[in-house]
Amino acid sequence: MKELKILIVMVILVLIGYWGIEPLAHSIMHKHIEEAIHKHNLPDFEYSDLEPLPHSIKGDPQRGKETVQMFCTSCHGIKADNIPAPMDAKSASEAYGVVPPDLSNQGALLDEKFLYNFLKDPAKATEFPKISMPSLGLDDQQIMDIIAYMKSIAKKDIDGKEATTEACGRCHSIKYQNFHTETPPGVLKTYLGKVPPDFSVIHRAKGEEYIVAFVNKPQALLPGTSMPRIGLNEETTEKIVKYLDEIADPNKEARTKIGIGVLLYMLVMVGLTYLWKKKMWKNIH
Ligand code: HEC
Ligand code: HEC
């Protein structure tokens, strides 16, 4: 019986070490991050610091298309509607500091309330005063029409890779996946003051909780940062984080499976050893 008690104590100690110490260490070493996440209640997919949508106004996709052709396609391409990018990547990035993203799927990637605020005042919504997307002086009806149009052309089942390259790929590369941003690093450095980090192993370096909160409100976690708030909706955020996890550690699933197998095997062996020992000692007692 003594051995069994020792075993139980060992198991409890290991479990405390596994589930107790790591989060404790995290909360001590990353205190300011934990505090910022708590203070701003991140991730905040309600975008509660932004103005509410004008719910009484209904957008019309057809009118939205005309408005987009009038105001947006001098900078943005829309592949889904056969509108090519107006400039090659090099000229576009030299003109704006970054290649303006294709608008085909932005209506599905971004939160509607964020998009409304972004089209009203890009610098305010992104919390990035230097943003090179201009404020175009659109009224609420025009904005709701544009949003209705962007939603109507967006793909419904975007996967994690597409979501990541379309929402982040104008700035971030993923070298291990052979994805290189179209904006040259030197140009990005001039525009943002910094070359955005490569995504290949960012999930391992920063962890899920941090990435989700950072993308949701960069200024809360890294005051003064030159990454604009992107305004992703919750679904897109989940897809992107899952994809970043998969590429940072492609063998994780297999390893977890093997790990469980090894633990089960050891458990069976411990049981057998115990029974065998009991049998051997039975006659001696
Ligand atoms: C003068 C060029 C220009 C015009 C005109 C323009 N944009 Fe942009 N837009 C940009 C640039 C540059 C960016 C990327 C800025 C960045 O990420 O720092 C951008 C980014 C965006 C984004 C991505 C926002 C995000 O959070 O990821 C959307 C959506 C967008 N524009 C929509 C529009 C729409 C809709 C119009 C027309 C009403 C428009 N843009 C007009 C240059 C322009
Ligand atoms: C307009 C360019 C731009 C876009 C678009 C962009 N980022 Fe960034 N990102 C940056 C810059 C610049 C930095 C470096 C910030 C710093 O160190 O201040 C950065 C840093 C980061 C970091 C590291 C933060 C840290 O603490 O070091 C993460 C994580 C990140 N970005 C995620 C994303 C994700 C996910 C997307 C897409 C949803 C995205 N970014 C889109 C420019 C961008």
pLDDT profile of the chain (285 residues), mean per 10: 90 86 74 91 97 97 98 98 96 97 98 98 97 97 98 97 98 97 95 96 95 97 96 98 94 86 93 91 79
Model pLDDT, residue 285: 64
C-beta of residue 203 within 8 angstroms of C-beta of residue 249? yes
Q: Is 110 in the pocket of ligand 2 (CB under 6 A)?
A: no
Q: Is 188 in the pocket of ligand 2 (CB under 6 A)?
A: no
The number of the ligand nearest the C-alpha atom of 145 reads 1
Model pLDDT, residue 201: 96
The number of the ligand nearest the C-alpha atom of 96 reads 1
Model pLDDT, residue 3: 87
Q: Which atom of ligand 1 is nearest to the CA of 72?
A: 37
CA distance 90 to 92: 6
CA distance 115 to 119: 6
Alpha carbon of 76 to ligand 1 centroid (Å): 7
C-beta of residue 185 within 8 angstroms of C-beta of residue 176? no
Give yes or no for a cis peptide into 196 (omega within 30° of 0). no
Model pLDDT, residue 21: 78
Q: How far, CA to CA in Å, does 45 sit from each of 29, 122, 138, 231, 269?
A: 27, 18, 24, 8, 49
